[in-house]
Structure 1
């Protein structure tokens, strides 16, 4: 099941940029491809910060 989801989520950004109708679409594709990584980084940092703060309160 997981491999099916990963297969469906694969996006060929280079192909989308090549077939883009204008530059605004290209910018949207690039931003859209970076958003998941930014969201994951924010979640990871938040979890790290909360764990570190909790550890300091226990001392």
Structure 2
């Protein structure tokens, strides 16, 4: 329930922002900002995988 509410609040129409962009630099910034959450999520997933793979207590 809370996750759905947060997802609705964070929904952004990127095409509309790019269409109303004052210049190309703004378009590039919007594109980069759109991909940052996915990159961070991938890094966190890799970190969790790495830590789980290298656990010493499972090597008995």
Task: Give the TM-score normalised by structure 1.
Answer: 0.88
Provide the rounded CA distance (Å) in 2 between the counterparts of 1:2 and 1:50.
26
Structure 2 segments unaligned to the other structure (5+ residues):
none
The aligned counterpart of 2:44 is 43
The aligned counterpart of 1:19 is 20
Task: Give the TM-score normalised by structure 2.
Answer: 0.86
Q: Using the TM superposition, give the Cα deviation of residue 57 of structure 1 relative to its aligned residue in structure 2, in angstroms.
A: 6.3
Higher relative helix content: 1
> 2:55 is paired with a residue of what secondary structure?
helix
Kindly provide the CA deviation profile for residues 5-50 of structure 1, in whole angstroms up to 9, marking residues without a partner as x: 1111000000000000000000000000000000000000010011
Question: Alignment RMSD, CA only?
Answer: 1.8
Structure 1 segments unaligned to the other structure (5+ residues):
none
